[in-house]
Structure 1
Amino acid sequence: MLATRRNPQSRSDSFSSRYGTSKATSRSRRFARDTSVVSKRFERRQVPDSPPDGSSLSSSVITISVGPDKRLFAAHKEILCVSPFFATACSRAQSLDPSNSQRITLPEEQPEVFSCILEYLYRGDYYPRLTHNERRETWELETPTLKNGQSDGATIFHPAAGVEILKDTIVYCAANKYGLEHLKRLSLVKQGLHTGIQCSTILASARYAYANTPDHESKLRAHYLALIIRSRSTFKRSGTMQMEMEKGGKLFFDLFVAMCNHMDDLAMSNTKPLLVE
C-alpha cells in the first residue's frame, strides 16, 4: 500500500525540478484560490443531471448522451461551451442538423467522469473537493476518511481497463480532451493528496495516463515517474511491479531514463567544486 501524499515541508527532488513538477501543497494553494473564485461564481447552481429551474442563465440547454448506456445529462450552453471541445461540438451539431442541435453524443465517455466535468464547470471543483485548513494553512481533500484502506473517492472502475483507476487521472485525461487547462492542474494537485493507494492501482493508472495522453503532454506522466522514484523501496518489493515491468512499454523506458537523470543529479549535488587559490 502506498501513500501519495507528500510532506509539505520536504523540498522537491531533482526529478521533480527537472520535469517542472512541484510540491502538492504549494500547487494546491495556488489552484485552490483560483477554484474558490469559480466556486463563488456558481455556488448557487446545482449540478444534477439537469440544471435547476429558474436559473438566471439565459442560454439554451444542451442534452448530452454519455456512454454505451446513453445516460442523459443536461447543461446550459454557455457553461458547456467554456470547453473548446464542446463549443466546436455545438457548432458542428448546429450546422449538420439544426433541428437536433441541442444534443451531443459521447459514446465512449464514462458517466461518472462526465459528472465530474459538469460539476467542475458549474462549481469550479469536483468531489472530493479541496478545503482550506486554516490551522495548518494548507489545502486538503474534504473527505479524509478511508474506504478499503484508501481515501474515499480516490478511484473508480474503468470498464475498458477492467481495473480500478485513480479518478483524478481519468479526469485529467478528460480535461485534456475537452481543453480545460485549469481542471488538468486541479486534478493533478488533488491526485497528490490521496493516501493508501495500492501499488497495482498506481501502475494501472500510470499505464492509463500513458495510453490517454499525447507524448508532449508530460505533466501527468512525470507525476507518476516521480512518485515511483520517491517510493522506489515500496515498488521494489511489489510483485505487481515486477510483472508490469516484464510487460514493458514506454512507461518503463521513461522510468529508466528518469531514474538515471535522478542519479546523475544526486551525483552532481554531492560533488564539491575545487577551490582555486
Structure 2
Amino acid sequence: MFKRSFRSQDRVEKSAKLAKKSNTARDPQKISKLQQSLEDTLPVKKNLNSPIVTLTVGREGRLFAAHEEVLCQSPFFQQACRDQYLEPQSKRISLPDQEPEVFSAVLEYLYKGDYYPRLLHNKHRNSWELEGASRSPDPSNDNTAGARGAVEATMYVPSVGQHLLRDTVVYCAADKFGLEELKRLSLRKQGLQSGIDVGTILRSAQYAYDNTPDTDSRLRAHYLALIIRCRKTFKRSGTMQAEMERGGKLFFDLFVAMCNHLDDVVELSNARTPKTV
C-alpha cells in the first residue's frame, strides 16, 4: 500500500491575477484586459471558442481568467458552470478558500498538462526529475529526510500560517476539484523532493489529513511510508515528539502502519529461517 520512496511545467505566469481593488471584479475594462492577457500567454495556440470565465481566488480576491471549456475538465467547475451562471457574458466563480498560488498551478495543469517545476525525463540517467533540480545535499543536517536539493519544494499557506510542501497543497486542491491525474502528478513530484526538514514534513502531513477524506489511500500513505522509512531521523526529532504528544489521526495511522511493517519483517524473517522442531 505504501510507496517505498519519497520520490514520487512551462509556468503559467500569473498574468490573469490582479490585486484586489475597489470594484475590480465589476470593472469591464479590467475583465477585458484579463481575457486578452490570457489569450496572449497560452503556451500552445488552441482553437478555444468557449466563453471566458472570471475567477476571484483567495481572501484578497485575486483575479484569474480561463476558458470555460478548459475549466470543465474538472467535475467541480463543470458543476459550477452548469448551476451558478445566469448571465452568459459575465461568468464568474468565487473561490475564497483557495490559495492563489495553488490555483495558478491547477490552472497551468488544465492548460498544459503539467505545472512548474515540470516533470522531465533524463535520457542519460533514464529517470524522471524536476525541472531545475540540483543535487546539493547537506550531509551535516540530520534533521532532514533525503539528500537532493529541493526545487521550490515549499510555499507559504496563509490559511495555516506555515510553509508546507507545495505538491501536498496542490494534491489537496486537485482532490477538491476532482482532478485525479493531477493528484497522481503532484504525488509523483513530491516523491522527487528531498532534503526536507522534519517540521515541514509533519506540518504537511497534518495538512494532508485535514484536507483529504478518510478514504484517501495515496497521499496519507505516502507520508506514513516516508516516516517509517526515515524513522531514525524522526525518532531523534523533538518536533516529532511534540507532535505525537499533541496527537491526532495521523499518529494512530502511523502506529498501524508501523505494526504492519513489523509484521512484514517478521514474516519475511520466518520464511528465510528453517523451522526447528
Please report the TM-score for the alignment, with normalisation by the length of structure 2: 0.80
1:11 is matched with none
- In structure 1, what is the Cα distance between the partners aligned to 2:62 and 2:223? 32
Work out which of the residue numbers 132, 150, 163 in structure 1 matches 2:121.
Answer: 132
Aligned counterpart, 1:66: 57
Q: Match of 2:49, as an amino acid?
A: S
The total of aligned residue pairs comes to 240
Contact 2:5 2:226 in 1 (8 A): no
Amino acid of the structure 2 residue aligned with 1:51: L
The reply on whether 1:106 has 2:95 as its aligned counterpart is yes
Greater helix share, 1 or 2? 1
Matches within 5 A, 1:1-277: 19=1, 21=3, 48-49=15-16, 50-53=37-40, 56-94=47-85, 97-98=86-87, 101-145=90-134, 150-272=149-271
Give the root-mean-square deviation of aligned CA atoms: 2.5
Q: Calculate percent identity across the aligned residue pairs.
A: 56
Residue identity opposite 2:3 in structure 1: T
Separation in 2, partners of 1:80, 1:148: 39
Gaps of 5+ in 2: 17-36, 139-148
- Cα 1:182/1:156, change in 2 over 3 Å: same
Aligned-partner residue type, residue 134 of structure 1: K
Could you tell me how far 1:98 is from its partner in structure 2? 2.5
2:88, 2:51 → 1: CA distance? 14
> What is the rounded CA distance, in whole Å, between the counterparts of 1:185 and 1:24 in structure 2?
14
The residue matched to 1:105 in structure 2 has which SS? Answer: strand
Give ranges in structure 1 of 5+ residues lacking alignment: 1-18, 29-38
Deviation at 1:141, TM superposition (A): 0.4
**2: CA distance, partners of 1:127 / 1:147:** 20
2:57 and 2:95 in contact (8 A); partners too: yes
Mapped to 2, the partners of 1:206 and 1:133 lie a distance apart of: 29
Q: List per-residue Cα deviations over 1:42-96 (Å, max 9, x = no partner).
A: x8x98742422585211111000000111000001111100000011111122xx
SS of the equivalent of 1:21 reads coil
